[in-house]
Structure 1
């Protein structure tokens, strides 16, 4: 009898040990029915895997193994009971036709989640080529919205690393209401002529780090919108695209201040702009302060250094009144390399609210190898100058008498 009891106890121990081990292993979407054939929609499978992981009281991992998976759309909502990692080893493809994604939805949305990790070395393929032909924003002020690849809304304490975003329909990544988000070894790729395919857009978010990453796209490699605070960008290679931009600001009512932007040790190559701060003319009120761009290498970049408070793409502006966005405490330091245009430094500030606290130091930029042809253009700003300056900076600098 005692021996029989021992056997029962041993079997029970083995049974529960196996269950415990199964619970601590990854949730493999192929075991839940996802097919790596590129044609079977895995939307429901991913939703089921997320529900299981999000409800777990211990840290869990969702595994998307090697292979190609079709995903119509995903809405992964928290809060979750413990940290979750989504490990993407394969390629996840969006539908080619944007009409297959619900109206006013993004392709992949993650919302109200804390302690998330996205990793694995895989690819998010937005299959954006068909959507680009439907983009009206280049010719219309108000245009139909296409879906972003990945939207993180109210997501905190999160790491996105070792992933690739390919050919988004609109933005590759959009952050809103997030805190403490890190991108590392993140690759973004789209053709230079793909419209509005911003790499990473940051809005209403604090504590964003982007480092050791490569971004080449058809719009801003990184765009920083209102409400962005304490953003650190380092060791990023940008190009093609429109450069690294703060703004555009002042288009809408009640925009929040931009504060604490640090861009260091980056390389920008073959882009329409280099490092840029931009606001609309006749704008709503707003501010952008404590912004610093340092240790930047430019390689054949048009407009390498630019503040543009007359930003008006596609000549869509009907009111040319000065911008009401206040720009202050901005520095451009140790910026070297080559420009695709003669005007290598352009600081066009608002006539009604001139820029304040602008510093320019150690600028050495050549135009087609001929340093004698480079120039700068400034208005409504008198920057503090130091170090080597090639070309001479802001020789024409003026500030309206009433604001001096």
Structure 2
């Protein structure tokens, strides 16, 4: 009797343990077949049903050598045409090499592109299949609404063999004509040129991403924006051979917060106005961030001869760590120092620097504000600027040219003391300066 009671109790206990593990989803899956079944089943987050499309189920090999482009295209087409919410899965522990690919929308429902493994570009020029003799961007998402690109995996541009070449693929990852995007958690490394770009996009949220390339890799901007509105970049790390973030024409309402940048060329608005082009940028905020071991900190750069306007720019609570040019406005931007002085220029106004602190390299002035002779900068304000030379060397004087604005703290309490800003608005504002603002 006692033995029977013990066996019955033990049996009930085992059943309860298995039931608990089942509820918690912790039962082991012993074979690859069962794992793929689990990945391919339907689940219901909230009120919607999500269907998983695993690239392995579409013929991808994932050994880092085989061209898996066709499998990815098939998986994308199936996921994009799904009437239910779809998750395209790049599984962990696999490396998938794909050629230059365009993932086109619109899709029938919202889609999650989940990268848990590694996504790899072809290994250099000899492995890159050119289309009509053109070097395309590597992975392009086009005309997509409501997509999330997420995961803990790696996007490897394998750009090392391209960096000494003049002609290179422009971008590793590009989003064109897309809306309501979320990019979260992914790592992007070693792009041939720009790592990630947004062109003509709207309502974009970038969170917790990492971008990394050597400091000597040319033109490897971390994130480039063009004609993109309502974009947020939060809690991310970017280290590259060019700008961490570069903001081009047509960008408005951009919020950059808690970004660690460097080594790099800093965070830049521009360059704008090249070849007498028109550019408009407004409502840009960079805050609560760190820029370290970089040639520039926060920068606005424009070419002579352009038109348009840059306005309502805020740089706030930024720590500089051994930065060559922490604060810089350069309206004489020129790559070869052979550009002629011109009358026309972009208008720059309402630029605020608040609580910019840290150290600078003594090779150049920590504050460099060089504005157009005919279109002076207006309403440039500084408050709480404390920039000391690295390694305890002597302070360098700020440089200002045709820059009008004010300092909200006493000039002597600002480090270095900034007394070169001209008071008030310019006495004479060129007509085309007003026109540029009204047209933007």
The question of whether the paired residues in 2 share the 8 Å contact of 1:290 and 1:328 is answered with: yes
Deviation of the 1:101 alpha carbon: 4.2
Q: CA 1:402/1:20 → structure 2, altered by over 3 Å: closer, same or farther?
A: closer
CA offset at residue 368 of structure 1? 2.1
CA contact (8 A) 1:190 1:197 kept: yes
Aligned residue for 1:346? 368
Residue 129 of structure 2 is matched in structure 1 by 100
| In structure 2, distance between residues paired with 1:371 and 1:265 | 27
Residue deviations 1:290-338, cap 9 Å, x none? 10000000000010000000111233x4322255111011001100000
Partner residue, 1:358: 380
Q: Assess if the C-alpha contact under 8 Å between 2:366 and 2:387 holds in 1.
A: yes
TM-score normalised according to structure 2 size: 0.82
Are the aligned partners of 2:118 and 2:153 in contact in 1 as well (CA < 8 Å)? Answer: yes
Aligned to 1:280: 303
The equivalent residue for 1:53 is 79
Show the counterpart of 2:236: 213
> Which residue does the alignment assign to 1:189?
212
Partner in structure 2 of residue 245 of structure 1 = 268
Larger radius of gyration: 2
- Superposed, which structure 2 residues align to 1:136-155 within 5 Å? 144-155=167-178
Select the residue among 418, 423, 426 that pairs with 1:393: 418
Counterpart contact for 1:95–1:101, Cα < 8 Å: no
How far apart, in 2, do the equivalents of 1:26 and 1:255 lie? 45
CA contact (8 A) 2:208 2:237 kept: yes
Within 5 A, what are the aligned runs for 1:221-370?
A: 221-252=244-275, 254-281=277-304, 283-315=305-337, 317-322=338-343, 324-341=345-362, 342-370=364-392
Q: Secondary structure at the match of 2:99?
A: coil
Q: Given the alignment, which residue of 88, 96, 112 partners 1:85?
A: 112
**Structure 2 CA distance for aligned equivalents of residues 366 and 149 of structure 1:** 37
Indicate the larger mover: 25-34 or 212-221. Answer: 25-34
Q: 2: CA distance between counterparts of 1:194 and 1:320? A: 31
Structure 2 counterpart of 1:6: none
Residue of structure 2 equivalent to 1:68? 95
Quote how far apart the aligned CAs of 1:31 are: 1.4
Residue 62 of structure 2 corresponds to: 36
Q: Report the counterpart of residue 26 of structure 2 in structure 1.
A: none
- Residue 222 of structure 2 contacts residue 242 of structure 2 at CA under 8 Å; is this kept in 1? yes
Unmatched runs of 5 consecutive residues or more in structure 1: 1-18, 136-143
Residue 386 to residue 369, structure 1, CA distance change in 2 (3 Å):
farther
SS in 2 for 1:274: strand
Asked if the contact 1:83/1:115 (under 8 Å) is kept, the reply is yes
